[in-house]
Structure 1
């Protein structure tokens, strides 16, 4: 077999995976309204893609305050928990595992989305950043609106956010998930605390690198204590700077955080790597240093080819390879890789954030249906 590592079984801190393909988290905005409730359409979507060894769900807000985009699912109400049970049951029946990605957007939001002023480590608006709503347009397209100036979080806000992540994790386990992924990447709340350009605090959560990683570590420890360290993963994006997140200190900060996460013995660090054509590549020396710093699983996601993923696995620099858009359009992606079959392409970009439609979501064909 050409891709022996990709198709090898893997034990993720006690969770047995049938292969090393990971379906990466992708926001699709199909939650039922009102209430941002997961539904049967979403269950069909995830079940189709349970050909992956493990699925990380789309980002899922831990509270209404943590919501930044329309029609994204939550994990803080009883109705949401019941909705997610449809999905975990469907995925498990197909022999795959599934983690829920816990999300708080921080300053990347607008009152037009959730009726609330955004909150953030500092009262700094994210320049050139937008979120989307569905405003009733006949074609169903998302309408992008600029983010609003956030309110600086006080001590009570920070305590509340930590509690929301913990409760979200507990709710995820109740809903049948195999674990959770804490979203610390892509310019959202935890990432905002990590970066010196978005975090100008003068208390114990700002200033030094040690202080800026404090919220990430406190949330990670609290979640691991609540549901188990083997069920707790973290997503980080050291080389991504969109949403006004360019910080010259971020690489040292991320490595410091990795050392602390290693002490907590969490299940994995998931590197969100840029996926556009001319994006910066993660240097091999960074991968080697991360591997030396963090002893458990490392995941790489970001427009990887199977060849690139296989090489990273062979070199023991990562343990799982995440694929996003390829799973979006090819629910049977591992089989297509194994048999060197033609891949489906995105049929219509308007359906990426479809707000409830099956078109461009669950209608991508399996190879046998072509």
Structure 2
């Protein structure tokens, strides 16, 4: 059986020094650009944060807007402006200097957005005009202050706009490659735009992006083809959350069939890994939502395993070595993602390997706008013990 601390060649191309993944975690620490078109910009503090955690086999960055229309949450970075590219270069240089490997996660939020943070106050866009009732995003209230706001009614994308969005993702991937990322992950989960297309209940389109299984998944597959062409096989991952309800996604009677079809198609396209995760409960938001593990049935995962030659990343509330190793021992997954433990434990791999206790971050530090506090100020276990010995 695979060992949590052994190396792996991801996608036959990218060497990983262990099987521990730091998954995407939005931390709202970006800087403001000088121009409206700059977007929210990565900075030196973010470079320090990711560099501190370069012991992970794979770091997947917080999610990035592929263009201005995909900006669903304030203080989320992007990869569509020169300023953002310069900021991300600081990050990749630091992670690589420390021997790490890093992919960038890309998204378009679709209908999960608010006009107050979109260009010229435009409406969100979506697969249809159906609003995500009950969902909230981090945007500007009537007084201009940032807070969680109900999403607004989207404008359906035209057929030509959907096709153009494929090129937008390809351009974002090209930008990620130029600034030193080792690969990209496409966010096709949690009720964002790509998953909006795949859901057979929400997607009521009658063009070539709606209706049949081929049509509903066409948007994702076209993006994958374009991004693989840009980065090469073995350097593209896809995040999926089958059965997820986040983003007010309706229950889909075809979800299992769609999942297995997507897995098979991704395997034919040179995708390096599929990232499976648990979800935020639908009534929650990033700051107040309740996290609960949500795992795929092992029988379904076994079917997916038989269809996909790449790796599976399992993300689901892992917070200790034993549970992670048990998951690997099933033979159904290849890499384990530790989310929240990475916030307070920059040296997480070392702590897990040596059986050292894990620090726990106060949840109030997750999404603050207080700079380094609760972000880059968590010490390593070795530094704490050395300080204790010196005193």
**1:278 Cα offset (Å):** 4.8
Equivalent residue for 2:69? 65
Partner of 1:273: 278
- 136, 139, 154: which one aligns with 1:133: 139
Q: Distance in 2 between matches of 1:271 and 1:218?
A: 21
Describe the shift of the 1:306–1:239 C-alpha distance in structure 2 as closer, same or farther (beyond 3 A): farther
Q: Which residue of 1 aligns with 2:332?
A: 317
Check whether the contact 1:241–1:247 (CA below 8 A) recurs between aligned residues: no
CA distance in 1 between partners of 2:83 and 2:189 (Å): 27
Output one character per residue of 1:43-90: Cα deviation in whole Å (capped at 9) or x when no partner. Answer: 011001111011000000000101100011010111111110100011
Contact 2:274-2:312 within 8 A present in 1 as well: yes
Give the TM-score of the pair, scaled to structure 2.
Answer: 0.89
My pick for the range that moved more, 354-363 or 178-187, is 354-363
Q: Matches of 2:309 and 2:257 in 1, distance apart?
A: 18
Structure 2 Cα separation of the partners of residues 356 and 55 of structure 1: 23
Show CA shifts across 1:83-110 (max 9, x none): 1010001111111100000110000000
Matched position secondary structure for 1:244: coil
Residue 82 (str. 1) matches residue 97 (str. 2): no
How do residues 333-344 of structure 1 correspond to structure 2 at under 5 angstroms? 333-344=348-359
1:322 to partner: Cα distance: 0.8
- RMSD between superposed Cα atoms in Å: 1.9
Instruction: Give the aligned partner of residue 36 of structure 2.
Output: none
Number of corresponding residues: 364
Alignment of 1:111-260 (within 5 A): 111-114=115-118, 115-133=121-139, 143-245=147-249, 246-260=251-265
Cα distance between partner residues in 2 of 1:19 and 1:136: 48
Corresponding residue number in structure 1 for 2:104: 100
Deviation at residue 142 of structure 1 after TM alignment: 5.3
Q: Kindly state the Cα deviation for residue 295 of structure 1 after the two structures are TM-superposed.
A: 0.7
Q: What are the Cα deviations for residues 173-229 of structure 1, in whole angstroms up to 9, with x where unaligned? A: 000000000110111000110112321111111112221111011100111112212
Between stretches 260-269 and 52-61, larger displacement belongs to: 260-269
TM-score, normalising length from structure 1?
Answer: 0.94
Quote how far apart the aligned CAs of 1:307 are: 2.1
Structure 2 counterpart SS, 1:65 = helix
Instruction: Check the 8 A contact 1:31/1:356 in 2, yes or no.
Output: no
Give CA deviations for 1:130-187 in whole Å, capped at 9, x if unaligned: 00136799xxx95100100000110121022111100000000000000000110111
Equivalents in 2 of 1:179, 1:278: separation in Å? 29
Q: What are the Cα deviations for residues 13-65 of structure 1, in whole angstroms up to 9, with x where unaligned?
A: 21111111000001111111023111001001100111101100000000010
Q: Distance in 2 between matches of 1:31 and 1:135?
A: 20
For the Cα contact (< 8 Å) 2:2–2:328, is it kept in 1? Answer: no
Say which of 374, 379, 383 aligns to 1:360. 374
* Maintained 8 Å contact 2:293/2:317: no
User: How many angstroms does 1:124 deviate by?
Assistant: 0.5
